[in-house]
Amino acid sequence: MKTSGRGEFHLRRPYSLAYVGAKDEFADSLSAVCRAQGAQIVFAEDAAAYRELQKTGAFDGIVLDLRKAPAGAADLARWLAISAHEPAVIAVLSDGVESVCSELLQSGAADCVREPLDVEVAAHRIFRALELRESARAEEAIRHARNLDAPLSAGVFVSSAMRQLRERALAVAQRDFRMVLVCGERGTGASEICRLIHALSTRYESPLIVFDCRHPDPLRVYGELFGFERGVMPGENQARRGLLERASGWTLLLEEVMALPLMAQEALAGVSERGLLRRLGGAEEIATGVRILATSWSGVEALLSQGRVHPRLGALLLGEKFEIPPLRERSEDIRVLAEHACALACRRYGVHTELSPSAHQALLAHPWPGNEEELSGVVSLAVLLHREGPIQPDDIPLSRGPRSLWPAGAEEPSAAYRRRGGASQATLESVERAHIAHILGACGGNRTRAAMALGIARSTLIRKITELEIEAGESGEDE
């Protein structure tokens, strides 16, 4: 084994490496070089030990030492190359095994290093493979995010506030913060920003798990997130791992995070601070590498002053926070958002139409208490009910009129907004309830069609019908 004295490396971020194989002088020297450059390296004797390491989080790269590997080593390399998080695999081989090296590269390995081994040359090639993989992932993630239909991902906003917010989301995505909070009124797209951050992060190929924190049973919601030991949870006879434990190495989106009970909030702060959790009824601290993205309709500061947010969690949430301005404060976005929603609805329903200039004026004059979600919904409904020619103001269900399908007795969004003097939570709930009932009525009670018009999943629509207490007669059933 030699050292070439090449000196410093310049890495774009600290990488995490797993060394799979027997430890020897080369492995120890490589570990020292990696750690000197800020990279973390851990050792696993074989594939089984590596699988155990994966439970603690994803790795950027794997150094696979096959010099003393038994038969079937190439199969092991293939398994590692296509593992869940697709790390860069760099194989270490004995001299004179060109055919094995070729097979490994064809199987997806990033590079092969052969004897005689020079530690610093090997480190250079390992770091080069990691940097190339990082660049390729970033480019693919950006292409993927820009192809998404969501307005923020598609970059359709023109207001400086939303452009700055999108640029900041791109920057935060590349830094693996343990917890990020996105605040905004209902309908502003807080979850969309979280999905964009995930799509542009180094974890974009791993799952994004969504959990709604609004649950009436505090014990149950704690158990779902953190897990529980046997005999602790009523009606459960077995211990169970929680989402935070199962999602190690993945990303967890907590919708309405501040609706969690204070006990769960404090425990969540511990996960973010130390990467450790404790199951309900358990004494052992369990490591997790989960990344947490969170949304809230309410401001952290106000809830902290009311004692509804645990101080530890509140301090963490204020550390990396996005605030989305309501649509009424950035009217320059209304036209482009409406055109985007119209184009998507035309594609969805197989029609060809556009918004007339007078329709755009009507949209600009509306206060939009339901923000982008309301705008998208009414434009989609106008396209769905479209007959011929450009869409006119009377085709858009913003107010009562001869062609309006707003349910009898339901309060109009603009009236509710004016009467209550702004976008209070009650106003938004009233608007959302009336709007969903409105579209259900327009779709003849067919929940599948209504969900398509609203741009949400059918299961989400059914949940909203229950939460907003929309009568069965209002919602109807699918045909």
CA distance 98 to 104: 10
Per the structure, the complete domain to which residue 85 belongs is given by: 16-135
| Least reliable range by pLDDT among 10-24, 173-187, 220-234, 444-458 | 444-458
Pair 242, 225: CB distance under 8 Å: yes
Same structural domain for residues 158 and 191? yes
Positive or negative, the CA dihedral 437, 439, 442, 447 is: negative
- Domain end, chosen from 323, 344, 377, is at 323
CA angle 166, 170, 175 (to 5 degrees): 140
Does 1 reside within a domain?
A: no
- The angle formed by the CA atoms of residues 309, 310 and 313, to the nearest 5 degrees, is 95
285, 303, 323 — which closes off a domain?
323
Please check whether residues 206 and 299 belong to one and the same domain.
Answer: yes
Question: What is the rounded distance in angstroms from the CA atom of residue 319 to the CA atom of residue 333?
Answer: 28
* Residues 40, 131 within the same domain: yes
List, edge to edge, every strand of the sheet that includes 111-114.
Answer: 40-44, 16-20, 61-65, 88-93, 111-114
Same domain, 111 and 186: no
Cα torsion 33, 38, 44, 48: sign: negative
Measured CA angle at 442 (ends 386, 351), to 5 deg: 25
CATH of the domain at 35: 3.40.50.2300
Tell me: the pLDDT tens digits for 128-178?
A: 888 887 766 655 555 555 445 566 655 677 888 998 888 888 888 877 777
- For the chain, the average pLDDT equals 78
Q: Which long-range contacts (CB under 8 A, 24 or more apart) does 412-420 make?
A: 413/366, 413/367, 413/368, 413/369, 413/370, 413/374, 414/366, 414/367, 414/369, 416/369, 417/367, 417/369, 418/367
Residues paired with 16 in a beta bridge = 40
Q: Indicate whether 252 and 160 sit together in one domain.
A: yes
Q: Would 2 be classed as within a structural domain?
A: no
**Token pair for 439:** 């579209």
Are 318 and 334 found together in one domain? no
Q: Are strands 179-183 and 208-212 parallel, antiparallel or unpaired?
A: unpaired
Q: Are residues 362 and 224 in the same domain?
A: no
CA-based nearest residue to 81, from 51, 61, 56: 61
When pLDDT is cut at 50, 70 and 90, the band that residue 426 belongs to is very low
Give me the helix-helix angle, 458-467 and 447-454, nearest 10°.
Answer: 100
What confidence category does residue 85 fall into, taking pLDDT thresholds of 50, 70 and 90? very low
| Domain co-membership, 131 together with 152 | no
In a domain? residue 295: yes
Q: Which of 52-66, 108-122, 131-145, 311-325 has the highest mean pLDDT?
A: 311-325
| CATH number assigned to the domain comprising residue 455 | 1.10.8.60
Domain assignment of residue 140, yes or no? no
The pair of structure tokens assigned to 431 is: 């608007």
> Are 126 and 214 found together in one domain?
no
Residue 141 lies in a domain: no
Query: d(Cα 465, Cα 461) in Å, to the nearest integer?
Result: 6
6 lies in some domain: no
Give the range among 114-118, 402-406, 461-465 with minimum mean pLDDT. 402-406
Distance CA 454, CA 450 (A): 6
User: Can you tell me the distance from the alpha carbon of 377 to that of 452, in angstroms, rounded to the nearest whole number?
Assistant: 10
Q: Is residue 390 part of a domain?
A: yes
Judgement on whether residues 319 and 348 belong to the same structural domain of the protein: no
pLDDT in tens, 175-193: 777 789 999 998 888 988 8
Q: Residue 285 belongs to a domain with what CATH number?
A: 3.40.50.300
Query: What's the total number of domains in the chain?
Result: 3
Backbone angles phi, psi at 29, to 5 degrees: -65, -40
pTM here is 0.56
Find which of 54-68, 143-157, 204-218, 323-337 is predicted with most confidence, using mean pLDDT: 323-337
Task: Kindly state whether residue 3 falls inside one of the protein's structural domains.
Answer: no
How do residues 349-374 score in pLDDT, each as one tens digit? 788 899 999 999 999 999 998 898 88
The last residue of a domain, from among 298, 323, 348: 323
Helix ranges restricted to H, 147-217: 151-154, 160-173, 190-199
- Range of weakest confidence among 285-299, 344-358, 444-458: 444-458
Cα(344)–Cα(259) distance, rounded to whole angstroms? 33
Q: Tell me: do 191 and 95 sit in the same domain.
A: no
* 287 and 409 inside one domain: no
Instruction: List, in sequence order, every residue forming a beta bridge with 454; answer none if it has no partner.
Output: none
